[in-house]
């Protein structure tokens, strides 16, 4: 197909005398005297729990609004002369620090700022009584020489690599942190970012596992999930064995989400008697309004009697040991290790197509 764009230019030539008299000097039009007020005046305080508030802008000119933070949403972002009501919705503050956002109202060369302050967030403690901390990674690693971001600590983690489909026809090629000039596992600002991105004719991403394993315990991670059709983030566990037989040896899914069903998270177990291929899976789902825009704590409590799944301390999945001693129904009596990955496409993640735009990010606050 050949497409041509035809662009016409029109030159306007003034007709008149050809005398060489001086032309009149244009008189600049003065900008109006802008009068813009925000009610309530001064600044607005928001609680740490997050909520929606309204402010009123009164102005004698048209204006536009910009902000320097993403933890709240403002609508509308422009207005005309007169009164305009704005709706501000703040996310819950789980950062452990108070924070401030600056709104800037502009009209021509005029600019006026307005502060939104949010109270200090409380770090929730969802750990049941009776547990002692034995392992953690808070991703507070310092930057490398030259200012480059740190990468996961390889004494705590190892990468699982390859483009094998992983039993689910997934599209990604898992790499060992970097691939050429691309880095897919980055630690900055106290968080781990796992990035799935296009590289030539492939998608590269990260699948990382803990070097240690445990039998029974309480395991949690603070995660913010990626957006986009085709994404499939997971926080899960497999048994520590040299020769895995799936599903016979068991699998514990602490958190999974697929991008075509945003903010629906699930927790599941798989074993020989209970798994999705034969329609007997044991799973539960929960809708989290801000799973893709804010951090939430996903956890599992695993004992010799039960496996329970949690989001922000709310138990929504329960599976009990039937005490028959049958591995087909309870293979969960050996050490398991933790896994973090961001898959792309596949039987579940790609069942409704994938977004071709490059770059999706899963963020972990701690494990």
In a domain, 11, yes or no: no
With a CB cutoff of 8 Å and minimum separation 6, the contacts of 105 are: 36, 38, 57, 59, 63, 64, 65, 111, 112, 113, 114
How confident is the model at residue 128, as a pLDDT? 95
For residues 72 and 324, which has the higher predicted lDDT (pLDDT)?
Answer: 324
If asked whether residues 186 and 61 sit together in one domain, one would say no
| 297 Ramachandran zone, left/alpha/beta (phi>0; psi -120 to 50) | beta
How confident is the model at residue 1, as a pLDDT? 32
Does 104 have pLDDT greater than 90?
yes
Question: Which strand (E) or helix (H) includes residue 54?
Answer: strand 52-59
Average pLDDT over every residue of 199-227: 94
If asked whether residues 196 and 108 sit together in one domain, one would say no
Does 16 have pLDDT greater than 60?
no
User: Burial of 199 by CB count in 10 Å (0-12 exposed, 13-18 middle, 19+ buried)?
Assistant: middle
CATH number for the domain spanning 109: value is 2.60.40.10
Segments forming the whole domain that contains residue 65: 36-118
Does 2 have pLDDT greater than 70?
no
In sign, the C-alpha dihedral spanning 319, 325, 331, 334 is positive
If asked whether residues 177 and 306 sit together in one domain, one would say yes
If asked whether residues 86 and 193 sit together in one domain, one would say no
In sign, the C-alpha dihedral spanning 226, 360, 244, 159 is negative
Report pLDDT digits (tens) over 167-206. Answer: 787 878 899 999 988 999 999 888 999 998 888 888 899 9
For residues 228 and 54, which has the higher predicted lDDT (pLDDT)?
Answer: 54
Report pLDDT digits (tens) over 304-316. Answer: 999 999 999 999 9
By three-state DSSP, how is residue 166 classified?
helix
For residues 10 and 13, give the distance between their C-alpha atoms in angstroms, rounded to a whole number.
10
pTM of the model: 0.71
Nearest one of 129, 126, 136, 123 to 96, comparing CA atoms: 123
If asked whether residues 242 and 337 sit together in one domain, one would say yes
User: Burial of 337 by CB count in 10 Å (0-12 exposed, 13-18 middle, 19+ buried)?
Assistant: middle
Does 221 have pLDDT greater than 90?
yes
If asked whether residues 100 and 213 sit together in one domain, one would say no
If asked whether residues 313 and 274 sit together in one domain, one would say yes
In a domain, 348, yes or no: yes
CATH number for the domain spanning 225: value is 2.60.120.200
If asked whether residues 195 and 89 sit together in one domain, one would say no
Does 298 have pLDDT greater than 60?
yes
> Between the ranges 170-174, 198-202, 289-293, 337-341, where is the mean pLDDT highest?
337-341
Chain mean position to CA 260:
15
In a domain, 150, yes or no: yes
In a domain, 131, yes or no: no
If asked whether residues 221 and 331 sit together in one domain, one would say yes
How confident is the model at residue 115, as a pLDDT? 94
Locus of tokens 């302050």? 117
Tokens coding 294: 């804010």
In a domain, 73, yes or no: yes
Check: CB of residue 194 under 8 Å from CB of residue 243: no
φ/ψ of residue 145, rounded to 5: -60, 140
In a domain, 253, yes or no: yes
Number of domains present in the structure of the chain: 2
In a domain, 111, yes or no: yes
How confident is the model at residue 4, as a pLDDT? 28
Does 358 have pLDDT greater than 80?
no
In a domain, 15, yes or no: no
How many Cβ atoms are within 10 Å of 211's Cβ, its own excluded? 13
Average pLDDT over every residue of 39-62: 92
How confident is the model at residue 283, as a pLDDT? 98
If asked whether residues 94 and 149 sit together in one domain, one would say no
For residues 117 and 102, give the distance between their C-alpha atoms in angstroms, rounded to a whole number.
9
Which neighbouring-strand residues pair with 36?
Answer: 59
Question: Which strand (E) or helix (H) includes residue 348?
Answer: helix 346-349
Residues carrying an active site annotation: 251, 256
Report pLDDT digits (tens) over 246-276. Answer: 999 999 999 999 989 999 999 999 999 999 8
If asked whether residues 40 and 170 sit together in one domain, one would say no
What mean pLDDT, rounded, does the chain reach?
87
Check: CB of residue 196 under 8 Å from CB of residue 184: yes
For residues 322 and 164, which has the higher predicted lDDT (pLDDT)?
Answer: 322
If asked whether residues 45 and 187 sit together in one domain, one would say no
Report pLDDT digits (tens) over 139-165. Answer: 988 888 888 889 999 999 999 998 877
Does 40 have pLDDT greater than 60?
yes
Tokens coding 325: 């001693």
Nearest one of 209, 193, 163 to 344, comparing CA atoms: 163
């Amino acid at each position: 197909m050949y497409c041509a764009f035809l662009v016409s230019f029109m030159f306007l030539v003034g007709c008149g005398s050809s005398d060489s008299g001086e032309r009149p000097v244009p008189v600049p039009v003065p900008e109006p005297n802008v009068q813009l007020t925000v009610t309530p005046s001064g600044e607005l305080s928001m609680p740490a729990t997050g909520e929606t508030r309204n402010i009123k802008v009164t102005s004698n000119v048209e204006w536009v609004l910009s902000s320097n933070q993403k933890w709240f949403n403002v609508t509308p972002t422009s207005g005309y002369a007169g009164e305009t009501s704005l709706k501000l919705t703040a996310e819950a503050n789980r950062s452990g620090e108070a924070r401030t956002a600056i709104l800037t109202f502009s009209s021509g060369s005029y600019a006026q700022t307005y502060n939104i302050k949010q109270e200090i967030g409380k770090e929730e403690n969802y750990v049941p009584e009776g547990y002692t901390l034995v392992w953690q990674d808070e991703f507070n690693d310092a930057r490398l020489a030259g200012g480059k971001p740190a990468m996961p600590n390889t004494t705590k983690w190892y990468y699982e690599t390859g483009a094998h489909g992983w039993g689910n026809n997934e599209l990604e090629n898992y790499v060992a942190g970097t691939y050429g000039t691309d880095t897919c596992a980055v630690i900055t600002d106290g968080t781990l970012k796992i990035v799935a991105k296009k590289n030539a004719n492939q998608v590269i991403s990260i699948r990382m596992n803990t070097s240690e394993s445990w039998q029974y315990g309480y395991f949690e991670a603070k995660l913010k999930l990626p957006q986009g059709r085709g994404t499939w983030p997971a926080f899960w566990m497999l048994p520590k064995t040299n020769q895995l037989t799936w599903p016979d040896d068991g699998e514990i899914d602490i958190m999974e989400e697929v991008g075509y069903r945003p903010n629906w998270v699930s927790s599941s177990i798989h074993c020989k008697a209970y798994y999705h291929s034969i329609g007997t899976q044991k799973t539960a789902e929960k809708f989290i309004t801000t799973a893709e825009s804010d951090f939430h704590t996903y956890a599992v409590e695993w004992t010799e009697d039960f496996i329970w799944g949690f989001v922000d301390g709310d138990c929504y999945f329960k599976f009990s040991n039937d005490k028959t001693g049958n591995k087909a129904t309870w293979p969960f009596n050996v050490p398991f290790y933790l896994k973090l990955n961001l898959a792309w496409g596949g039987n579940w993640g790609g069942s409704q197509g994938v977004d071709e735009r490059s770059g999706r990010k899963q963020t972990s606050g701690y494990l």
